[in-house]
């Protein structure tokens, strides 16, 4: 029986193959245990989502908060009561982030092969590096015509709208949340308010949001990342100088 396989300068022995199979088996076992816990948690969360109330009007939204209705998907408009901006960009926004970047010189060592011999040289390159940031946002917002504090709802992802150069080596990039969105809020209605930092899903109906939250995509992502980790572990193991397997 062949006891090793050569791949150029890389050699894999039969014992390394057998050890690699053991590594895969152990990691798969651990993966199934973790996946089982993720799936059990998803089942519990799905039960919570399916029991949540669906709300699309202001009267029911306020009633739910007044009566501690519990978990709910609420569809409506999210609006800024007081908008913000920076003078240099104008406009009106719910949130603005101003990021300062500096064009900075860096060096790195590059190794090349010339006539079969490695040679190193220092290479200079330039990048725009973030060196600071500041942000402003509305104090008050409205959702489905009910006013509340800004931090009650997680804002949608920001959009880059402007880059202004102060000089050849300094620039500012501006990211904003617009003053109004339509979408679905998932929250808990209790004590005449909603839960802190309730997630908001812009441009999604209640049905679309429910489908997204019950899709179980987290389990698929786990297995993809876990398989990548298994492959990396096996490759890393085989690249080691495993002399102890020979003894």
Please check whether residues 77 and 139 belong to one and the same domain.
yes
Q: Angle 185-186-191 (CA atoms, 0-180°, nearest 5)?
A: 100
Helix/strand/coil for 186 = strand
Domain of residue 126 covers 73-204
The residues that bridge with 231 in the sheet, in sequence order, are none
User: Token digits for 147?
Assistant: 């006013």
What pLDDT, on the 0 to 100 scale, is given for residue 217? 78
Is residue 191 domain-shared with residue 232, that is, in the same domain? no
Residue 242, pLDDT score: 53
* Pair 47, 104 in one domain: no
Residue 230, in any domain of the structure: yes
Residues 21 and 129 in one domain: no
With respect to residue 3, please indicate whether it lies within any of the assigned structural domains. yes
Structure confidence at residue 1 (pLDDT):
46
CA distance 57 to 185: 13
Q: Residues near 229 by Cβ (< 8 Å), separated by ≥ 6?
A: 27
Kindly state whether residues 81 and 146 are assigned to the same domain.
yes
Total domains in the fold of the chain: 2
Q: Does 194 share its domain with 145?
A: yes
Residue 211 falls within a domain, yes or no?
no
200, 220: one domain: no
Least confident of 5-19, 41-55, 111-125, 171-185: 5-19
- Per residue in 53-87, pLDDT tens? 999 999 999 999 999 999 999 999 999 999 999 99
226 part of a folded domain: yes
Whether 58 maps to a domain, the answer reads: no
pLDDT (tens digit per residue) in 80-99: 999 999 999 999 999 999 99
On whether residue 57 sits in a domain, the answer given is: no
How confident is residue 11, by pLDDT bands cut at 50, 70 and 90? low
- What does residue 35 show for φ and ψ, rounded to 5 degrees? -60, -35
Domain check: are 100 and 134 in the same one?
yes
Q: What is the pLDDT of residue 241?
A: 57
Question: Which pLDDT score, from 0 to 100, does residue 119 have?
Answer: 85
* Chain-centre distance for alpha carbon 178: 21
| Percent of the chain at pLDDT exceeding 90 | 64
Structural domain includes residue 19: yes
- 113 and 31 co-located in one domain: no
Residue carrying structure tokens 């690699």: 20
185 and 241 inside one domain: no
157 found inside a domain: yes
Is 33 strand, coil or helix?
helix
- b/e map of 168-194 (b: 16 or more CB within 10 Å)? eeebbbbbbbbbebebbbbbbbbeeeb
d(CA 232, CA 194): 44
Burial class, 206, CB count within 10 angstroms (exposed 0-12 / middle 13-18 / buried 19+):
buried
Q: Model's pTM, two decimal places? A: 0.74
pLDDT at 38: 84
168 and 220 together in one domain: no
- Same domain for 95 and 178, yes or no, is yes
């Amino acid at each position: 029986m062949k006891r090793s396989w050569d791949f150029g300068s890389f050699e894999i022995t039969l014992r390394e193959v057998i050890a690699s199979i053991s590594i895969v088996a152990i990691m798969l076992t651990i993966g199934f245990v973790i996946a089982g816990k993720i799936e059990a948690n998803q089942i519990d969360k799905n039960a919570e989502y399916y029991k949540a109330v669906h709300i699309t009007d202001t009267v029911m939204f306020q009633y739910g908060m007044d009566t501690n209705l519990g978990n709910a998907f609420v569809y409506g408009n999210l609006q800024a009561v007081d908008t913000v901006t920076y003078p240099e960009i104008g406009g009106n926004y719910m949130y603005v982030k101003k990021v300062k970047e500096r064009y900075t010189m860096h060096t790195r060592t590059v190794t090349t092969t010339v006539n079969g011999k490695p040679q190193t040289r220092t290479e200079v390159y330039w990048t725009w590096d973030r060196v600071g940031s500041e942000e402003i946002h509305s104090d008050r917002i409205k959702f489905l015509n009910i006013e509340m504090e800004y931090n009650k709802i997680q804002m949608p992802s920001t959009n880059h709208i402007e880059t202004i150069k102060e000089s050849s080596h300094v620039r500012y990039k501006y990211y904003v949340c617009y003053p109004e969105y339509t979408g679905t809020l998932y929250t808990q209605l209790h004590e005449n308010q909603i839960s802190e930092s309730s997630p908001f899903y812009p441009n999604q109906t209640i049905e679309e949001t429910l489908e997204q939250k019950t899709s179980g995509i987290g389990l698929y992502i786990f297995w993809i990342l876990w398989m990548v980790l298994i492959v990396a572990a096996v490759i890393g193991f085989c690249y080691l100088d495993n002399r102890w397997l020979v003894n």
